[in-house]
Structure 1
Amino acid sequence: MAEAVKVKDIGAGGGAFRKYCRLVHGDVALWRVFRNELLVLLFSNIPGALGIVLRRIFYPCMFRSCGGGVVFGRSVTLRHTHKIDLGRGCIIDDFSLLDAKGETNNGLSLGAGVYVGRHSSVYCKNGDIVLGDRVNISSHCTLFSSNRLQVGEGCMIGAYCYFLSGGEYDYKDATPFADQLGMGTRGELTIGDDCWFGTRVTLLDAASVGKRCVIAAGAVVTRPVPDRRLAMGVPARVIREI
């Protein structure tokens, strides 16, 4: 993954409007900026079934690709939509965030039937996130990538989970943390198919998880977990095979 830039540096140069466009929309034609802004202004906060129907009709044109039957909740924040793929039947619940920010990344790819719960954030800083079919993300979760984060099919992610791929600072570097990019990484974060993560699980950079694993509530995973294992604790330890 190419070197990222800090969010506050994305809009360096130009006026306030240009900075806003680069932060929210990326490097796209001006007519796309105005179209997306108008659609959000008109339809983002309409409550109930009417809002869902109108957003289902008008929002898909903003994305790189969007399958049929995608549901957008109220007040969803969408950034760099030209680098977001949504599979058929995805549900993006109220007040959630999808952000594919970056200058050289591929962005976000959500498979068919993915659910992103209320107040959850799935976002990049020059990284990529790939969610397999039927991934279920509960409320108040954060999935972040400045590298690559891939979640296998059918994974269940409990509320308040935090998955981090990249985003590390170098404490050995004399450069003040505020001046570092904060995009250091030890490797990609990969999660196998059919895993279950309890509430408030923290999954740190390069701590990949194998297929059909169970990670108990409150665990902090700092190292890879093999296939078919139950892990728990801080830091998480494998308890047994399942």
Structure 2
Amino acid sequence: MTKEKLTLEDEIVELRRQVDELSAAVAAIRSPQHGKKTIKGDNVFVDSSTVLVSGENATICLGDHTKVWRGGEWTGPVTVGKRVFVNQGSYIRPLVTIEDDVSLGPFVRLITDTHEIGHKTRRTGTPKKDAIRIGQGSWIGAGATVMGGVNVGKRSIVAVGAVVNRDVPDNVLVAGVPARVVRQIKDFDEFAELIDPFDPKSASKGADCSDSRYNNAEG
């Protein structure tokens, strides 16, 4: 009985060893491609399926407590602050800065790439990249696209599916294609409220309806 018990225990130990070896092999196959110049702060999580392309002059820096979920593709240089949450399927191009406490919904695209307008034989001329900055505390909704050269203000919200091709002020909600300011965000002691900046009645709630940023009629 003792011999059988020891044999069984030995088999269990051997099986566990084999499982550990297989797990390590699978982890190696699935290991994220994080490049040679990816810098991570404390308690950073990047899903193994997310590709971070970095190298000389193309550093990707992830601040403390940042979480990046599955299926993303980033190309440096990219700078990310602390406590940033990035949902699945993110597509982030070079020259992007994401400040602290930002949240990106699923399938958000931050695209700095564009071209000069080319001659009639080919309209895509010389390629270039225009930097993007996402301000502290902002929220970019699912499927939204932010184009090169745009600064999204602090604590603002970009609605689901919006295409942002111009700067976004602080504390507003933008929506649409192209994105426009549709609400101002008013903070109170323990909650926030969306205010229509075009409604005269909201003046009593603190919306500055005279601000030219809210009355830009161009596309």
Q: TM-score, length-normalised on structure 1?
A: 0.61
Partner of 1:172: 118
Larger strand proportion, structure 1 or 2?
2
Partner of 1:207: 150
Q: Percent identity?
A: 27
Q: Is the 8 A contact 1:108 1:130 kept in 2?
A: yes
Q: Which protein has the larger Cα radius of gyration, Structure 1 or Structure 2?
A: 2
Q: Deviations over 1:40-87 (max 9, x none)?
A: xx95733xxxxxxxx8xxxxxxxxxxxxxxxxx9442222x1x22111
Determine if the alignment matches structure 1 residue 142 to structure 2 residue 91.
yes
1:25-36 pair list within 5 angstroms: none
Aligned mates of 1:114, 1:173 — CA distance in 2: 44
Partner of 2:134: 191
Aligned mates of 1:174, 1:84 — CA distance in 2: 41
Aligned mates of 1:44, 1:211 — CA distance in 2: 43
Partner of 1:52: none
Q: Is the 8 A contact 2:58 2:75 kept in 1?
A: no
Q: Is the 8 A contact 1:44 1:76 kept in 2?
A: no
1:225-240 pair list within 5 angstroms: 225-240=168-183
Aligned mates of 2:58, 2:73 — CA distance in 1: 18
Match for residue 162 of structure 1 among 105, 109, 119 = 109
Aligned mates of 1:114, 1:191 — CA distance in 2: 15
Q: Is the 8 A contact 2:98 2:135 kept in 1?
A: yes
Q: Is the 8 A contact 1:44 1:75 kept in 2?
A: no
Match for residue 95 of structure 1 among 49, 54, 59 = 49
AA of the residue aligned to 2:44 = C
The answer to which structure, 1 or 2, has the higher relative contact order (CA under 8 A, 6+ apart) is: 1
Q: Is the 8 A contact 2:96 2:133 kept in 1?
A: yes
Q: TM-score, length-normalised on structure 2?
A: 0.67
Q: Deviations over 1:3-25 (max 9, x none)?
A: xxxxxxxxxxxxxxxxxxxxxxx
Moved over 3 A (4+): 173-178
Q: Is the 8 A contact 1:122 1:144 kept in 2?
A: yes
How many residues of Structure 1 are paired with residues of Structure 2 in the alignment? 163
Q: Is the 8 A contact 1:230 1:238 kept in 2?
A: yes
Aligned mates of 2:172, 2:150 — CA distance in 1: 14
Cα RMSD after superposing both structures: 2.4
Q: Deviations over 1:142-190 (max 9, x none)?
A: 1111xx211011111000110012x212232468578x663x13x4211
Match for residue 152 of structure 1 among 71, 74, 99 = 99
Distance change in 2, residues 1:119/1:189 (3 Å): same
Partner of 2:65: 113
What stretches of structure 2 of length at least 5 have no aligned partner? 1-22, 186-219
Partner of 1:78: 34
